[in-house]
Amino acid sequence: MNLNIVLVAPEIPQNTGAIGRLCVCLGARLHLIEPLGFELDESRVRRAGLDYWQHVDVATYPSWRQFRESVRPLRCFFASTKGITPYYNCQFRSGDYLVFGNESSGFPKDFYDDYREDLCQIPMPGDHARSLNLANAAAIIAYEALRQAVNQ
């Protein structure tokens, strides 16, 4: 399956490292939209990715606009606590882009209007949490996309 994971302005290097490792395991490409809250050569990124980081297929873009112009993704799914559609009801295909906002504030405000129909969420029936850890959320949705691809 050809899968892409996009992080918009990630802030925590350990999450990006763990997601990079996830991408290696899935054969997925990692797209990072600046600003980043860390330097990619930080040891915390590499430590979270363990010895996988050298194998991560990663691209960095100065802005969302530049990402859209250079990559021209056909289908994007935006993971958000503000989404209505549960991720397991999304119909993923090879070549899709799974897009995640940053750890403290999610997506830029205009994303919620511009991509309202493409927002998906991970149900959280518990009472005391606002959201999942970014790396956990990416893994949950990415493996659902893989499951669907394998069963097609």
pLDDT tens-digit profile of 89-101? 999 999 999 999 9
pTM for the predicted model, two decimal places:
0.93
Strand order in the sheet with 119-121: 57-61, 29-33, 4-8, 97-100, 76-79, 119-121, 85-86
Q: Kindly report which listed range (12-16, 59-63, 75-79, 124-128) carries the lowest average pLDDT score.
A: 124-128
Which residue is associated with the tokens 């996309």? Answer: 145
Average pLDDT of the residues of the chain: 91
The two three-digit tokens of residue 30, written as one number: 């990692």
Q: Cβ atoms within 10 A of the Cβ of 78, count?
A: 25
CATH superfamily membership of 4-150: SPOUT methyltransferase, trefoil knot domain (3.40.1280.10)
Return d(Cα 123, Cα 146) in angstroms, integer.
Answer: 19
Tell me the per-residue pLDDT of 10-66, one tens digit each, with 9 for 90 and over.
Answer: 999 889 999 999 999 999 999 999 999 988 776 766 665 567 788 899 999 999 999
